[in-house]
Each structure stands twice: as C-alpha cells, then as structure tokens.
Amino acid sequence: MQYIEIAIAIIGAVALAWIADLLTGRRGIGAVILVALVSAACGAFLAIRVFAVAALTDWEWLLWSLVTTVIGLAAFFLFRNKR
C-alpha cells in the first residue's frame, strides 16, 4: 500500500465535508466536497513544500491536511453567498 496516506487524506476530507454538510443542513454536497478537497491539497502543500515539516512518506502532513480542511470548510460556510 504505497499511497495509503493519500487515500486516507481523500477519505478524511470527504468525510469531513459530509459531516459539515449534515451539521449545516444544506443539500449542496458537491460544493462542500470541492472545498474540502482543495483545502486538503493546500494543507498538504503547506506541510510538504512551504514549511518542510514532513515528506510525502510521513504521516505528519496528513494532520495538516485535515486541519486545513476544517479551516477551509469553516471559511466556506462563514463567507459564502446566502441568497
């Protein structure tokens, strides 16, 4: 299982998006999943390339990825357009 960390990051981001969608009572799961996956990718990029605190073979970037997913989802629900 060479890429298990990447699979866990994707599953974790989708799970967090699903939970956020359930908690807010919205039905637009597609946009929420998109925000979660982009946030997770940004968190991984920050951990691996910008701050160099982890490598892709480490598990530390996974925590960064999930934390930035939560931050991204919070910002999405805070600043999105309400018609």
pLDDT (mean) for 32-58: 93
What does the chain look like in DSSP terms, one character per residue? Answer: -TTHHHHHHHHHHHHHHHHHHHHHT---HHHHHHHHHHHHHHHHHIIIIIS----TTSSHHHHHHHHHHHHHHHHHHHHS---
Mean pLDDT of the chain: 91
pLDDT band at 83 (very low <50, low <70, confident <90, very high): low
Q: What is the pTM of this model?
A: 0.89
Supply the pLDDT for residue 1. Answer: 67
Supply the pLDDT for residue 2. Answer: 74
Residue-wise pLDDT tens digits, 60-78: 999 999 999 999 999 999 9
Instruction: Please answer whether residues 45 and 52 qualify as being in contact, where contact means their C-beta atoms are separated by less than 8 angstroms.
Output: no
